[in-house]
Chain A
Amino acid sequence: MRFEPRATVPLWLILSAPIAAIILAFLSCSLLILWTGSPVWAAYGALLRGAVGSPFALSETLTRAIPLILTGLAVAVCFRAKLWNIGAEGQFYGGALAASLLGTAGLSLPRPGLVLVLLLAGWIAGGLLLWIPAWLKTQFQVDEVVTTLLLNFVILLGISYLLEGPLKDPLALGWPQGRALAESALLPRLIPRSRLHAGLIIALLAALGVWALERFTVWGLEMRAVGANPEAAKFLGIPVQGVILYTSLLGGGLAGLAGVCELLGLKGYLTLDLSPGFGYTGIVVALLAQLHPLGVVGAAVFIAGIYVGADTMGRSLGVPTYLADVIVAAALLWMLVCMGLARYRLRWD
């Protein structure tokens, strides 16, 4: 048995790889469901119902997909230029913190104006948080995997301090949470009596924007070139360090935007459980999407659906909800296998 590289990979094969990966992930996880003693078919039925089975379920899935699309983009953009951004979680909170500070500062702006200002502030905060590791990388060759990862804890602990201390809402009955934002700062609901908010539009626009940026602009070309072969890019006259720096502002900004959308769309005040690891899940989203910005949307909706559906599965059949994590992880692993099979041909000798 051996592998041979394919000369060209047809598009249908690239597109069918993720579908095959998802099917294989479900198949392999059905063993775990059997282990819990529940019928596999009913469990997956419950999962599907919980994810997309009703307008409400669908709206919940899409709501959960919003931050995942944005953090997925944040990671995908950086990985494309080989800037290993593991810090989307920190950038997410950085963005949320900036928006929370400005949103509770009593700015008197009409609705769309204030939202735009907060989005911009979140973008800048997230961007700067990634710019620092990127700058260290370009100047002193500091490994950004380490710095971005560790910055997450710095930011989380910092926010924890702020919420226990200076930013604590005195009306929150002692809970560590920030003050509520002004009404005009909140994102409107897209569907009444659901939680789905206008962040979805922002996320979709961001995905389209990143796609267009990568495809149609000189910056996209530069990012691809630097990511594919930094040495050649430098020799060919591309300002490699500059490219890494603006990529960091773009990627970090998108993660910051995710934080702002979550803050303005759902809670309206800053807490420490604003993100159940959206930044880290963003890495899975980006890899599952093969770093393609439009693929990120699909991958984010899929993963959001699994998480939301797993709650229903857990409630109705008693299957542990953390099975969602296992399914997502299995999907990623199978994705690697399937992409490998798409790029290579398996030969039996």
Chain B
Amino acid sequence: MTVNPSPPSEAPLALKVVGISKRFGTLLANDRIDLELRAGEILAIVGENGAGKTTLMNILFGHYVPDQGQVWVFGRPLKLGSPAAALAAGIGMVHQHVVLADNLSVLDNILLGTQPLWHLWSRRQEGRQRIHTLAEELGLTVDPDALVGSLALGERQRVEILKVLYRGARILILDEPTAVLTPPELEPFFQTLRQMAGRGLGILLISHKLQEVMRISDRVMVLRAGRVVMTGKTAEIHPTALAEAMVGQRLPAVVKDSFAPGKTVLALQQVSCGVLEQVSLTVRRHEIVGIAGVAGNGQSTLADLICGAIRPHQGQFHLYGQVLRLISPAEMVRHGMARIPEDRHKTGLIGSLSLWENWVIERYRDPEFSRWGILRHRQIYQQAHTWLQTYDVRGLQSGDPRQALQMPVQLLSGGNMQKVILARELCRDPQVIVAHQPTRGLDLGAVAYVHAQLLAAARAGAGILLISEDLEELLSLTDRIAVLYRGQLSPAVPTQATTLTDLGLRMAGQEVADAV
């Protein structure tokens, strides 16, 4: 293997991937993927969930061994299947979910594991100096003595990047790095990325969000079903073409009809609970009310409260115009509230149970589905099959329906899991729907599907509370938007009267001068 002679106009090849294939059972997760990344370049890898991005990253970082293919780092073959080899070769990975020790300082987190055990203390000063230099050069300002537990998510991410660079990474893999950032934090983050690229780092950016990809990357590569379906210079690609390449088809645009809102179906009056302070809120029929906010400002508490999982300390909870005295999950189910929780795996579904069990799990006591404690399997199978099919859950279109319904729900993809939840929650024509991050982690096709179902439910008369961190989603679906910041909920304003920047500022806690 010789070092690739690079033309004078081009930087050296930092990473070269040839013919990587990886199969899991019958699923071909990566199919002969080729990739080239030059030093100083930002390459965005986009694709839907399950397109094979994560598999590819895990192969590069040594977590998986590919069935075929080879990787060269700066001209040297990389020993595959060994994270240590990947680190030594200069591949650094920043995971989507920051993995740091909360009880240690920034400095200690960065130094952790980099120094020989018997003289940890003698090198601290040297380490501090290097971190300082790195941070200065890249604009990654962070106090080295602050406790990581006290930092905001954006700052933690900077620590994570510093940690990787400190170990001498020359190729940086960032997995959905903007997922934890607020809109105002985005711009400085992009500048940092640019600066790092300017210093000769090769950057692989994995993302869902097309606008960001268009803004920051030099080149883009689209994966679909394990294959590279498009690569090219970002400047030469149209965003619509990119979206279509990801999905493999044209996406229907969101069409939102406007209805005169009807009676109030859900109302909170001066409710306090955990971090929530004096929250008031109304949702009327035919209306979608959005709650915007950066994660950790009380959304989960609000969602849990309305879903009945926790009780308010203070204030009143009205459902269908009546004060609710008993608040419990079972009570909300009894009232026919449709609840789409944030975490499909933890609360939305029971992974090891089958499709039919997950479909009937809220209603198995109905006389329709059981009598004298005996499950009426025939009715359950029949209805579950019909509804799961209506909501387009994969794997039910052919074959023996009974067999298909026995499949554990954890084997489904994220999008299909969400469809199972939709089939369970929406098949009863609910009057009230609470959806918390209903499209998180879903691919574009599934997102469009979920959006269409929510709009259809609103058209049919449901009042919907949509809690989301995706501002585009909120702006395109909702009628009114309120912002949750540090447990306080702003009054809901009509969506037409607000803009993306406006929302971004309010999510960061800044008051916006009333323009209206």
Contacts and interface: CB of A to CB of B under 8 A. Distances in A.
Interface string A1-17: 01010111000000000
Contacts of A141: none
A218 B373 contact: yes
Given A7-B27, A228-B352, A235 B375 contact: no
B370 A218 contact: yes
A221 interface: yes
Interface string A214-253: 0011110100110011011111111100000000000000
Contacts of B374: 216-218
Interface string B387-404: 000000000000000000
Nearest to B360: A221
A234 B309 contact: yes
A222 B24 CA distance: 33
Contact of A221 (B81, B330, B375): B375
Interface in B298-315: 307, 309
Contacts of B373: 217-219
Interface string B324-361: 00001110111000010100001111111100010011
B473 interface: no
Nearest to A234: B329
B25 interface: yes
A206 B81 CA distance: 50
A100 B244 CA distance: 77
A228 B350 contact: yes
A273 interface: no
A234 B307 CA distance: 11
A183 interface: no
A221 B357 contact: yes
B65 interface: yes
A340 B97 CA distance: 29
A219 B375 CA distance: 9
B407 to A, nearest CB: 8
Contact of B350 (A8, A216, A229, A349): A229
Contacts of A235: 307, 309, 329, 339, 341, 347-348
B330 A237 contact: yes
B26 A228 contact: no
Q: For chain B, which range describes its interface: under 10, 10 to 19, 20 to 34, or 35 or more residues? A: 35 or more
B78 to A, nearest CB: 15
Nearest to B26: A7
Contacts of A224: 353, 357
B329 A225 contact: no
A5 B341 CA distance: 28
B361 A238 contact: yes
Contacts of B307: 235
Contacts of B330: 237-239
A7 B81 CA distance: 21
Contacts of B263: none
A349 to B, nearest CB: 5
A216 B329 CA distance: 25
B349 A237 contact: no
> B350, B351, B352, B361: which has the most chain A beta carbons within 10 Å?
B350
B350 A232 contact: yes
B357 A236 contact: no
B414 to A, nearest CB: 16
Nearest to A212: B374
A217 B375 CA distance: 5
B329 A228 contact: no
Contacts of A218: 364-365, 370, 373-375
A233 B333 CA distance: 12
A308 B474 CA distance: 70
B337 to A, nearest CB: 10
B333 A237 contact: yes
B120 interface: no
Contacts of A4: 24
Contacts of B309: 234-235
Contacts of A7: 24-27, 411
Contacts of B334: 237
Contacts of B357: 221, 224-225
A217 B329 CA distance: 22
A2 B334 CA distance: 48
Nearest to A217: B373
B362 interface: yes
A232 B81 contact: no
A6 B361 CA distance: 27
B349 A232 contact: yes
Contacts of A349: 65, 81
Interface string B58-81: 000000010000000000000001
B25 A6 contact: yes
Contacts of A219: 373
Interface of B: 24-27, 65, 81, 307, 309, 328-330, 332-334, 339, 341, 346-353, 357, 360-362, 364-365, 370, 373-375, 377, 411
Given A221-B375, A236-B329, A236-B333, 19 more contacts: A2-B65, A4-B24, A216-B374, A216-B377, A218-B365, A221-B360, A221-B361, A221-B364, A224-B353, A224-B357, A229-B350, A231-B346, A232-B347, A232-B349, A234-B329, A235-B307, A235-B329, A237-B328, A237-B333
10 contacts: A216-B375, A218-B373, A219-B373, A221-B364, A225-B361, A231-B346, A235-B329, A235-B348, A236-B347, A237-B334
Closest 10 CB pairs of A and B: A7-B25, A237-B330, A237-B333, A235-B347, A237-B329, A229-B350, A228-B352, A228-B350, A232-B347, A232-B350
